[in-house]
Structure 1
Amino acid sequence: MGKSQSWIKRAAGETERIEACFSGFAYAPHSHDNYTLAITTHGVQSFNYLGELRHSLPGEVVILHPDETHDGQAGTDAPFAYRAITINPVDVQNVLQGASLPFLEGGVTRQPEFIQIAKRLLSEFDHPLEILEQQDLTFAFAICLQQATSKCITHTSANYHALKRVREYIDDVIAIGSSMPIDITLDQLATISEYSKWQVTRDFRSLYGTTPYRYVTLKRLQKAKVLIERGLPLAQVAFSSGFADQSHLTRHFKKCFGTTPKVWAKLNQ
């Protein structure tokens, strides 16, 4: 593994799984709206998280909570490498059914249950994950995370089924939408949930880890990542994923993923 080597490889299949290697600086401060479950495979993976510099050694597992700012860098002069998967808070919430999302404050764990789950999710990169296996492991992740943070878990006052209707509406609109910006308003979401629009924002974040607006933005960005990895020109990526222009895409992309679309395209070459 060369000292100046930096690259990202995507696993087979539709699930967001990557293997990456970086020397020195990797990611600027950013936050994304999924859980990240990663296992360090080489070197020292360091990142600022919740006001402290954290370090993950080979075999240790990193678990980042949705919407929490973090960065990424090598902890030594040598490169570091890891494998990671994103886990949608929606899938976790489908297991928890109304509990607030579990939050592992330290960000790094050696707990055997998490290591086993991470290895099973991330060991086979040449073959897609079987749907049933992924669902099984997502369930195990949600339960294990809830048990590991049981002292912090509370049941919210949010109406789980009402907010589920809101989330499904957003998913449906984006799924059938054209390349034009998606027109979704808080007033619409309030009507669907029979909440006030401010309650929608507060309770959606409690259940799914982010606001409705950022949830919509993330959906667009996930589409943009796929198009970038297919080699499409960035101006076309921006238009096809619902952003006003390339600079609009770049601004949101870096805020969410800690790097620019140009750098992401280069790393995926």
Structure 2
Amino acid sequence: MTTPKLSTWFNTAVGDKPRIEVNLVGFTFAPHRHDTYTLALTTTGVQCFNYRGSLRYSLPGEVVVLHPDELHDGLAGTDAPFGYRAINIDPVDVQNILQGHHLPFLPNGVTGKPCLVDIAQRFLTEFQRPLEPLEYQDLIYDFAMALQKETTIHHKHTTANYQAIQMAREYIDDSLDNDITLDQLATITGYSKWQITRDFRSLFGTSPYRYLTLRRLEKAKSLMSQGIPIAQVAQDCFFSDQSHFTRQFKKSFGTTPNMWNKLNESPQR
């Protein structure tokens, strides 16, 4: 991975929602996966990424929608810098609206559809103020409905046990510092452990283990932003050692914890 130049920077929006603004020069994200949707509005240059076996391009004003747990990278499509604003949207929030329907999936990953461009702009235009709770909920609803409309299976209901999987997810959220097994989740929910695995993927787009790992990594990013040393963060977030933490971090965010810290400390506009 190349070392970013000074004009590479991250900027975080005001508020508790994960909204970022990024300008990249000579920097490439390694292949990685999120357990969230990524909704990104390209602002400058040509945003380029490999996604589902093809190279995709997004021009200024276009929107990128990445499905949870889909492998992707990120790089400039030309020699010029590229920039974007993005928000990570928890599929749990989307599933609370869909109530057991398949998570919508946009196969191409890039769109200029006015409805999705409008939603991205409403999410991402005002970085100097937090999104109000009701405003955010309205936007999540609009996002879920607009994305569902653009998919071929948007009216198909899963056979998943929605209540059992919600119970399993809530248990994981409350147990980040503990070892968790499928047998435990089966006991708690009264549901087959293999059905839990299948239905968790169907409803939330990832496996229970990946969901647990990402929750720990999100906690780690919060601790890192407070200046806590990486070795201590790894221990506090229940990773076996710093090497394990670094590997998992790069798989999920496309860069190492050290580089993540540097990017967030880099000069901004």
Question: How far has the Cα of 1:193 moved from its partner?
Answer: 2.3
Select the residue among 104, 125, 128 that pairs with 1:126.
128
Conserved 8 A contact 2:43-2:85: yes
Question: How far has the Cα of 1:87 moved from its partner?
Answer: 0.2
Alignment of 1:245 onto 2:241: yes
Question: How far has the Cα of 1:3 moved from its partner?
Answer: 7.8
- Root mean square deviation of aligned Cα: 1.4
Give the 5 Å matches for 1:1-269.
Answer: 5-151=7-153, 153-174=155-176, 181-269=177-265
Q: Matched residues in 1 for 2:68 and 2:53: separation?
A: 16
Which runs of structure 1 show a deviation greater than 6 angstroms over 4 or more consecutive aligned residues? none
Q: Which amino acid aligns with 1:31?
A: R
1:265–1:125 CA distance, 2 compared to 1 (3 A): same
Give the unaligned 5+ runs of structure 2: none
Normalised TM-score (structure 2): 0.94
Question: How far has the Cα of 1:134 moved from its partner?
Answer: 0.5
Question: How far has the Cα of 1:154 moved from its partner?
Answer: 2.3
Give the unaligned 5+ runs of structure 1: 175-180
Question: How far has the Cα of 1:150 moved from its partner?
Answer: 3.9
Please state whether the residue corresponding to 1:243 is helix, strand or coil.
Answer: coil
Conserved 8 A contact 1:101-1:153: no
Question: How far has the Cα of 1:125 moved from its partner?
Answer: 1.0
Conserved 8 A contact 2:5-2:26: no
Question: How far has the Cα of 1:207 moved from its partner?
Answer: 0.3
Question: How far has the Cα of 1:26 moved from its partner?
Answer: 2.3
- 1:165-198 Cα offsets, whole Å, 9 max, x none, are 1111111223xxxxxx422110011122222111
Question: How far has the Cα of 1:213 moved from its partner?
Answer: 0.6
Question: How far has the Cα of 1:230 moved from its partner?
Answer: 2.1
Normalised TM-score (structure 1): 0.94
Q: Which amino acid aligns with 2:30?
A: A
Conserved 8 A contact 2:14-2:128: yes
Q: Matched residues in 2 for 1:172 and 1:195: separation?
A: 19
Q: Matched residues in 2 for 1:36 and 1:205: separation?
A: 17
Q: Matched residues in 2 for 1:95 and 1:133: separation?
A: 15
Q: Kindly, what percent of the aligned residue pairs are identical? A: 63
Q: Which amino acid aligns with 1:33?
A: D
Q: Matched residues in 2 for 1:45 and 1:90: separation?
A: 27
Conserved 8 A contact 1:63-1:108: yes
